[in-house]
Amino acid sequence: MAEQATTNVDSRAAEQAAHFKSVFQDIRTEVTKMMVGQPTVVDGVLTALVAGGHVLLEGVPGLGKTMLVRCLSDAVSVKFSRIQFTPDMMPADIQGTMVLTETASGAHELSFQEGPLIANLILADEINRATPKTQSALLEAMQERQVTVGNRTLTLEEPYCVMATQNPVEQEGTYPLPEAQLDRFLFKLLVDYPEENEYYEIIDRTTGTEEVEINHITDGAEIVKLREIARAVAVPTTAKTYAIRLVMATQPNSAYATDKTNAYVSLGSSPRGVQGLMLAAKVQAILNDRFSISTDDIKAVAYPVLRHRVILNFQAQASNVTPDSIIDDILEQVKLPRSVD
Amino acid sequence: MANLENLRLHLDGLAVRGAGYLRRYALKNAVEKAMGHVHIVALIVPLAFVVIALADRFAGTQVWVLNPILTVLLALVVPIVYILLAAVFGFVSRKVSRNFALALFDRELGYKDRLQAADEFLNSSSLSEFESAAVADAIPYAEKATNTRLQDIKIAAPAIYTTKWGHGVVAVVFLVAGILVQLIAFNPNLEANPVPEELVALNTVEDLVFEEETVEAPMESEDETQSPPQNVSTDRTGEGAVLESQESKSQDSALRKANPSDSDPSESMQVGLSGGASQDNKAGSSSSSLSGEGDPEKKQQESKEPPKDRENKEKKERPDEDEPGDESAKGIAGGKGSGSGRQSSSAEMTENTSRPLENDFDTGVDLESDDEEDEKQEATSAARPMINQRKPPVDRQLSPSGMVGQEEDERANGRGGAGARKKTRGVAAMLLGVPMPDQLRSQVSPGRVKIQRERSVPHPSQVASVDSKDRGSIDESIGKVAHHELKPWMRNVVSNYFTSMRRKPTEEGE
């Protein structure tokens, strides 16, 4: 009887995992109708969406960052809004403000006019062009899932995902994101130039007469279900230990800090880094047909989860040391739990 | 349930097998590490053998009791024992846990931690859906792992490289050297040719003198007999060497008499010498005095000598003086000659040192002349008309305008026109914020911060002169003054104010 119950449970978990994987694959297929190449970026954005995190996309202009998010919103069929950040943008411009409106009876009253921040999928384009005042307006929305204007607090509807883009080249007149806000992004994905063979596909898809149409695959409620499935993935102690060691290795002078970390890192990852590693690894485990995460899943998501949480010091910048090279070293140095090495 | 039990059994079996693999790996690892250091351990016995054998030979003791065969055996056994001990220690000290053993299978077979996770979830009290699924997912993998023979864990090749075998060669050399030290007699010549009693009678300080004179001997032998000087240094143990040493000692004493200022502790030791030795000393003193260049007797003798001989003598003496390693010989046998040589060399030194000074002076003069030429060039360049701009030459007058005795010149802008860089004299200091080029090239002085004094040229303004006749008298009425008519209440206020003011002094006066 117990075995049958176990089998039933197993079959239910297997069904959930299979559903998760199929929806994920369908969304990916729809997005890649428009988006050529960049499989890591597409998977990263989808993983962040179903893991309940926010994404920071960094790349030079013209690589399809905005188009990727727009395609994703089309495929998921959720309320989408785009904010093009500029230096003169104020918090009220994105959160909303009280406006004087005329009622049916002809009287006047103050009513709340929602800003673009109140949506399901937010594309914050060139987020580093906004002033810190406006950037900080995103903090509450990203972490608490709520917006406070005056004495009025609005709870944002799930799924809520902010996908911000920034240009690494044009740094003049920009305001680099503060560490507190960087930490709220689950992933930081680097969008690179396409491969040579991908250019042919880009030309064919974008300069022809045919228009690509993105179908609605799922909706917001389905995404919330997928998040619950992902959170249910089992986590063995080995994986927990490894994730903790990785995060501690990014912190200078910690027990697992490498020499490179002590030399070049001024600020390491916060506990949000462990949370991010676990959530993203759970999605990876389901996509890899497993019900519990492994250390390989953690390794796979270590770069996008940790690279924006490792703040380098001046010496590192002078020596051209990048956060990815620090993570390289950490992955090499930090031993697996119960490792035979 | 049966599946779960089967899984547990499989995991138990895998844990045992994994532990065995890991222990073997630990053993191999320990051997590998020991092999990395064994080349150093192999040197210990041969090195100790050589050192102790040499010490035994010189000290006459018998510390090393082993014979050569046993020593070679010991040198071979010590590294082997070291490796065995390291292996045993590594094997015993390695702890192998159950999860550790299962992790080995996960890693080697690429199971992505499935066995470890299943083992952990099996031991937990309550399982979630995904934990149960993970356990069920691990069952086929555990069965597969049970039926799979794990390949030997790859360990690195023994860390003995070609270069480290050199240590083994060194160890063999040490062993052979030690054996030779023990077996072969050290220096049989010492026993065959015993030291003469005369030499033994000499104390250590005289021995030192003897060593010094072995350098000097060839010079005199060349001067007197033209014989090669090798005999002195080679036949140390023979009688000839003893006699020569005595002669040289007598020469040395004669030199010391000739130069009483040279204080030598060996003088007190020469008191106990025999009379023959003292006679030799006298002879030596005469010969050494002849050899001195600054001696008047020698000059006379040299004047008597034919010029060819003198030239030959000079040729013979010059190389000896030029030899840098024969400073001791100069000091002993050269006598005053060496002093004159020094004088000449000092004269040359002064010449040499004076030359650079002159050169420096010349270069200083040259620099000054260069500066003057630069100034001239600048002056000429400043005085040249700017043909391309069709302007007269720029005046270099630096004085501000309005100075007494000088005409105001608007062209005196302090600029020297096109030419080389400006110097710090005057011009740049007057310009604010202009970095003044220093006299040193490629160095820019930040300049002094000064308050800028603008050079303002007063422009005369033509104003009609006022004649005093046009001015009216003081008593004359100025005419009507336009004023507003005050309102009645304001007039009352003003009149009341002034009347009250007038009243006050009168009241005080009363």
Say which range, B194-203, B337-346, B448-457, has the weakest mean pLDDT. Answer: B337-346
- Tell me what pLDDT residue A33 has: 84
Q: Is B221 helix (H, G, I), strand (E, B) or coil?
A: helix
Confidence of residue B296 (pLDDT cuts 50, 70, 90): very low
Confidence of residue B270 (pLDDT cuts 50, 70, 90): very low
A residues 143-182 closer than 8 Å to B (CB): none
Chain A neighbors of B5, CB-CB under 8 A? none
CA distance linking residue A162 with residue A140, whole number of Å: 12
What is the per-residue DSSP string for B26-52?
A: HHHHHHHHHHHHHHHHHHHHHHHHHHH
- Tell me what pLDDT residue B228 has: 40
A83, A122 contact by CB (below 8 A): yes
Of the candidates A129, A149, A128, A126, the residue with the CA atom closest to the CA atom of residue A137: A149
A121, A78 contact by CB (below 8 A): yes
Which of B117, B128, B137 has the CB atom closest to A236's CB atom? Answer: B117
Sign of CA dihedral B403, B407, B409, B413: negative
B89: amino acid identity, one letter: F
Confidence of residue A244 (pLDDT cuts 50, 70, 90): very high
**Least Cα separation, residue B132 to chain A (angstroms):** 6
Chain A neighbors of B121, CB-CB under 8 A? 234, 236, 292
Helix, strand, coil percentages, rounded to 5, for chain A: 50, 15, 35
Q: What is the arithmetic mean of pLDDT over A271-294?
A: 91
Write down the mean pLDDT value for chain B: 62
Helix, strand, coil percentages, rounded to 5, for chain B: 65, 0, 35
- Tell me what pLDDT residue A99 has: 83
H helical segments located in B153-295: 165-183, 188-192, 197-201, 204-224, 230-234, 239-258, 266-269, 275-291
In terms of pLDDT, which residue wins out, B175 or B353? Answer: B175
CA distance linking residue B418 with residue A318, whole number of Å: 43
**Least Cα separation, residue B351 to chain A (angstroms):** 56
Of the candidates B137, B189, B282, the residue with the CA atom closest to the CA atom of residue A7: B137
Chain A neighbors of B116, CB-CB under 8 A? 236, 238, 338
Condensed to tens digits (0 to 9), the pLDDT of residues A16-45 reads 888 898 999 888 888 888 888 888 889 999
pLDDT at A274 over 60: yes
A residues 236-255 closer than 8 Å to B (CB): 236-239
pTM: 0.54
Q: Which residues contact A88 (CB under 8 A, 6 or more apart)?
A: none
What is the per-residue DSSP string for A187-234?
A: EEEE--PPPHHHHHHHHHHHSSS----PPP---HHHHHHHHHHHHTSB
| Residue B33: both structure tokens together | 């590490």
User: Residue B97, by phi and psi: left (phi above 0), alpha (psi -120 to 50) or beta?
Assistant: beta
- Tell me what pLDDT residue B15 has: 84
- Tell me what pLDDT residue B349 has: 43
Chain B neighbors of A230, CB-CB under 8 A? none
- Tell me what pLDDT residue A249 has: 92
Q: Is residue B133 within 8 angstroms of chain A, CB to CB? A: yes
Sign of CA dihedral A313, A319, A325, A329: negative
H helical segments located in B411-487: 427-430
- ipTM for the predicted complex comes to 0.78
Which of B112, B135, B153 has the CB atom closest to A340's CB atom? Answer: B153
Give the chain A residue whose CA is nearest to the CA of B122.
A236
Interface contact B130-A234, CB threshold 8 A = yes
In terms of pLDDT, which residue wins out, A77 or B397? Answer: A77
CA B276 to mean position of chain CA atoms = 59
Interface contact B117-A238, CB threshold 8 A = yes
- Tell me what pLDDT residue A306 has: 92
Q: Is residue A9 within 8 angstroms of chain B, CB to CB? A: yes
CA distance linking residue A159 with residue A120, whole number of Å: 6
- Tell me what pLDDT residue B287 has: 40
Interface contact A234-B22, CB threshold 8 A = no
pLDDT at B402 over 60: no
pLDDT at B310 over 70: no
Interface contact A294-B127, CB threshold 8 A = no
B residues 7-46 closer than 8 Å to A (CB): 22, 25
The alpha carbon torsion through B167, B171, B176, B179 (nearest 10 deg) reads 160
In terms of pLDDT, which residue wins out, A322 or B407? Answer: A322
Say which range, A210-224, B98-112, B271-285, B464-478, has the weakest mean pLDDT. Answer: B271-285
- Tell me what pLDDT residue B398 has: 56
For an interface test with B, which of A3, A4, A6 has the most B Cβ atoms less than 10 Å from its Cβ?
A6
How many A×B Cβ pairs under 8 Å?
94
Interface contact B132-A10, CB threshold 8 A = yes
Q: Is residue A232 within 8 angstroms of chain B, CB to CB? A: yes
A50, A226 contact by CB (below 8 A): yes
Interface contact A340-B25, CB threshold 8 A = yes
pLDDT at A247 over 90: yes
| Exposed/middle/buried for residue B509 (C-beta within 10 Å: 0-12, 13-18, 19+) | exposed
Q: What is the arithmetic mean of pLDDT over B163-187?
A: 70
- Tell me what pLDDT residue B1 has: 59
Which of A14, A236, A337 has the CB atom closest to B133's CB atom? Answer: A14
Write down the mean pLDDT value for chain A: 85
CA distance linking residue A294 with residue B102, whole number of Å: 14
Chain B neighbors of A7, CB-CB under 8 A? 136
Which of B3, B99, B133 has the CB atom closest to A338's CB atom? Answer: B99
pLDDT at B308 over 70: no
pLDDT at B31 over 90: no
Interface contact A232-B104, CB threshold 8 A = no
Say which range, A251-260, B419-428, B479-488, has the weakest mean pLDDT. Answer: B419-428
Phi, psi torsion values for B386, nearest 5 degrees: -85, 90
Residue listed under structure tokens 């050569």: B68
Interface contact A234-B107, CB threshold 8 A = no
Confidence of residue A7 (pLDDT cuts 50, 70, 90): low
CA distances from B106 to A298, B13, B118, B150 (A): 16, 14, 11, 11
CA distance linking residue B288 with residue B259, whole number of Å: 11
B346: amino acid identity, one letter: S
User: What is the H or E stretch that residue A142 is in?
Assistant: helix A132-144
Give the chain A residue whose CA is nearest to the CA of B132.
A10
- Tell me what pLDDT residue B184 has: 63
Chain A neighbors of B1, CB-CB under 8 A? 2-3
Which of B2, B127, B137 has the CB atom closest to A290's CB atom? Answer: B137
Strand partners, A245: none
Strand partners, A99: A111
- Tell me what pLDDT residue A335 has: 81
Which of A13, A239, A295 has the CB atom closest to B133's CB atom? Answer: A13
Strand partners, B445: B436
Percent over 70 (pLDDT), chain B: 41
- Tell me what pLDDT residue A248 has: 92
Interface contact A236-B103, CB threshold 8 A = no
For an interface test with B, which of A229, A278, A338, A341 has the most B Cβ atoms less than 10 Å from its Cβ?
A338
In terms of pLDDT, which residue wins out, B104 or B309? Answer: B104
Condensed to tens digits (0 to 9), the pLDDT of residues B432-474 reads 665 655 555 555 566 666 666 677 787 888 777 777 777 777 7
- Tell me what pLDDT residue B386 has: 63
Work out the angle at residue B309's Cα, subtended by the Cα atoms of residues B304 and B314, and round it to the nearest 5 degrees. 105
Q: Is residue B4 within 8 angstroms of chain A, CB to CB? A: yes
Phi, psi torsion values for A336, nearest 5 degrees: -70, 150
Of the candidates A249, A274, A260, A267, the residue with the CA atom closest to the CA atom of residue A334: A249
CA distance linking residue B426 with residue B266, whole number of Å: 73
Q: Is residue A73 within 8 angstroms of chain B, CB to CB? A: no
- What string of H, E and C letters represents the secondary structure of B151-167? CCCCCCCCCCCHHHHHH
> Strands A152-155 and A146-149, how do they pair?
antiparallel
pLDDT at B54 over 60: yes
CA distance linking residue A280 with residue A189, whole number of Å: 13
Interface contact A236-B112, CB threshold 8 A = no
pLDDT at A299 over 50: yes
Phi, psi torsion values for A23, nearest 5 degrees: -65, -45
The alpha carbon torsion through B219, B225, B231, B235 (nearest 10 deg) reads -110
Say which range, A191-200, B164-173, B423-432, has the weakest mean pLDDT. Answer: B423-432
Say which range, A45-59, B29-43, B68-82, B344-358, has the weakest mean pLDDT. Answer: B344-358
Tell me the residue length of chain A: 341
Interface contact B130-A238, CB threshold 8 A = no
Phi, psi torsion values for B445, nearest 5 degrees: -80, 140
B426, B436 contact by CB (below 8 A): no
In terms of pLDDT, which residue wins out, B319 or B99? Answer: B99
- Tell me what pLDDT residue B326 has: 42
Phi, psi torsion values for A113, nearest 5 degrees: -100, 115
pLDDT at B189 over 60: no
- Tell me what pLDDT residue A278 has: 93
Q: Is residue B153 within 8 angstroms of chain A, CB to CB? A: yes
Q: What is the arithmetic mean of pLDDT over A282-297?
A: 90
Tell me the residue length of chain B: 510
